[in-house]
Amino acid sequence: MLFIIYYLSHQTKFNSLKKMKIVGKYPSIRLRRVRNSKWMRRLISEHKLSSSDLILPIFVREGKNKIEKIKTMPGVNRYSIDKLKTVMNKVSKYNIPMVALFPLTPERKKDKNGSEALNENNLVCQSIRYIKKRYPKIGIMCDVALDPYTSHGHDGVIEKNKIDNDKTLQLLVKQSLLQAKMGCDVIAPSDMMDGRIGKIRKALDKNNFKDVSILSYSAKYASNFYGPFREAVGSKKNLKFDKKTYQMDFNNSSEAYREIGLDIKEGADFVLIKPGMPYLDIIKNIKDSFKVPVFAYQVSGEYSLIKFGLINKLISEDAILESLTSFKRAGANAIITYFALDIAKKLLN
Ligand code: PBG
């Protein structure tokens, strides 16, 4: 009788343990046995980060012979086009599959519609051509959004104090076509306008860019972790109001399903969750629900927090590997990270 009461009250627990195939108990089971030696830990390890999982963001700037440190992101530089080889040689040596390009547009070239985004000779277009010519085996992804080019720092055009979705779409389509024409492999809309994936896919197909793929920043949160990046691309000081009318609210998770479902329907080849570490739950849920490649972005604020921790010797180097492996456990296929070179180098040794 007692057993029955005990059984009923613990039934769900027993069932879930059974489902997880956990049988036996201490002392016949001792999980420490599987951690006893390094060779054993290697054998049973479930996830392994490799250089194939990494995407390196690269900041480009005007000028010649310039490698400029970014104060808010120690260890990350801005390169003039002619100096891109210093970083690209490493990308190639460490076998990193893809780079993501971000420009620091001079203020004099910014305007309210971000028209520099459509200039064939803007920094991103020049960089694509430079890299494609010299490193044809490395993939290039480019953000589609206007913020590096607008005088107000927003991702779209402003009409009556609002970011105008449909007007912005027209420009984003043009920006995507230009990047594809320059040789960009992966178009990555990071603007969070509604309907952009469908419009961009259609335009790419119509213009014979059917092999150019789309990585949608589908679940991009209005995050407080983008600060160092905005400093790096020079949009921070220009921003007069936040991006909460287009980027997602961090209180929400089911909204991410709607965003991602729509983007997949509209033609996204892969989807991205951003930021990374504070959103591992979203990565895991999306990976479990949609069988599409899921990418994660370990953003600038996450990078700088870890980096300042390392500089101040509060944490050790392996914290980088630990942070990136968390994305693999959550189910990410690849990770955009400013640590890509450091960690790929380490993984090689
Ligand atoms: C712009 C864009 C941002 C980032 C990538 N693309 C910033 C923003 O939305 O304000 C952030 C990346 C990072 O913080 O590392 N659309």
The 3-class SS string of 143-199 reads EECCCCCECCCCCCCEECCEECHHHHHHHHHHHHHHHHHHCCCEEEECCCCCCHHHH
Cα separation, 187 vs 328, whole angstroms: 23
| Mean of pLDDT values over 188-207 | 98
CB 2 within 8 A of CB 10: no
Burial class (CB in 10 A: 0-12, 13-18, 19+), 184: buried
CA 229 to ligand 1 centroid distance, Å: 6
CATH code for position 145: 3.20.20.70
The pTM of the full predicted model, rounded to 2 decimals, is 0.93
Q: Which atom of ligand 1 is nearest to the CA of 145?
A: 16
Whose structure tokens read 């960089």? 127
pLDDT of residue 4: 60
pLDDT band at 235 (very low <50, low <70, confident <90, very high): confident
Q: 307 lies in a domain?
A: yes
pLDDT of residue 349: 80
Q: Which regions of 209-253 does DSSP assign to beta strands (E)?
A: 213-220
pLDDT of residue 346: 95
Q: Could you tell me which of 139, 157, 144, 117 has the C-alpha nearest to residue 220?
A: 144
Choose one of 230, 239, 279, 337 to mutate for the ligand 1 pocket test, by most ligand atoms within 8 angstroms of C-beta: 230
299 lines ligand 1 (CB under 6 A): yes
pLDDT band at 233 (very low <50, low <70, confident <90, very high): confident
CB 110 within 8 A of CB 151: yes
Q: 101 lies in a domain?
A: yes
pLDDT of residue 236: 86
CB 153 within 8 A of CB 111: no
* In the predicted structure, residue 10 carries a pLDDT above the cut 70: no
Choose one of 58, 163, 190 to mutate for the ligand 1 pocket test, by most ligand atoms within 8 angstroms of C-beta: 190
Q: Could you tell me which of 222, 347, 345, 335 has the C-alpha nearest to residue 277?
A: 335
Choose one of 221, 229, 337 to mutate for the ligand 1 pocket test, by most ligand atoms within 8 angstroms of C-beta: 229
CA 166 to ligand 1 centroid distance, Å: 21
Alpha helices in the chain (DSSP H): 2-9, 11-19, 38-44, 84-93, 123-134, 165-182, 196-206, 227-232, 254-266, 280-289, 300-311, 318-330, 340-348
Q: Whose CA is nearest to atom 5 of ligand 1?
A: 190
Q: Which atom of ligand 1 is nearest to the CA of 220?
A: 9
Q: Which atom of ligand 1 is nearest to the CA of 299?
A: 15
Domain containing residue 68: 50-348
Higher pLDDT residue, 269 or 10? 269
pLDDT of residue 2: 57
| Mean of pLDDT values over 304-331 | 98
Paired with 101 in beta bridges are: 58, 142
Q: 311 lies in a domain?
A: yes
Average per-residue pLDDT for the chain: 94
What letter would DSSP give residue 208? T
CA 7 to ligand 1 centroid distance, Å: 52
pLDDT of residue 86: 98
300 lines ligand 1 (CB under 6 A): yes
| Mean of pLDDT values over 117-140 | 98
Q: 292 lies in a domain?
A: yes
Q: 40 lies in a domain?
A: no
Preceding peptide of 275 cis, ω within 30°: yes
CA 190 to ligand 1 centroid distance, Å: 8
Q: How many domains does the chain have?
A: 1
Residues 6 or more apart whose Cβ sits within 8 Å of residue 175 = 117, 118, 144, 146
Q: Could you tell me which of 181, 112, 172 has the C-alpha nearest to residue 143?
A: 172
Q: 314 lies in a domain?
A: yes
* In the predicted structure, residue 1 carries a pLDDT above the cut 80: no
**First vs last Cα of the chain: how many Å apart?**
61
Q: 14 lies in a domain?
A: no
| Mean of pLDDT values over 111-121 | 98
127 lines ligand 1 (CB under 6 A): no
Q: Which atom of ligand 1 is nearest to the CA of 338?
A: 15
Least confident of 3-17, 221-235, 249-263: 3-17
Q: Whose CA is nearest to atom 6 of ligand 1?
A: 190
Q: Whose CA is nearest to atom 14 of ligand 1?
A: 226
- DSSP, collapsed to helix, strand or coil, labels residue 268 as coil
| Mean of pLDDT values over 14-33 | 79
| Mean of pLDDT values over 80-96 | 98
pLDDT of residue 180: 98
CB 124 within 8 A of CB 180: no
- Kindly list the catalytic residues: 220, 274
Higher pLDDT residue, 51 or 20? 51
pLDDT band at 75 (very low <50, low <70, confident <90, very high): very high
Paired with 9 in beta bridges are: none
Q: 274 lies in a domain?
A: yes
CB 277 within 8 A of CB 207: no
* In the predicted structure, residue 18 carries a pLDDT above the cut 80: no
200 lines ligand 1 (CB under 6 A): no
pLDDT band at 9 (very low <50, low <70, confident <90, very high): low
Cα separation, 289 vs 19, whole angstroms: 20
| Mean of pLDDT values over 177-193 | 98
pLDDT above 90 coverage of the chain, percent: 90
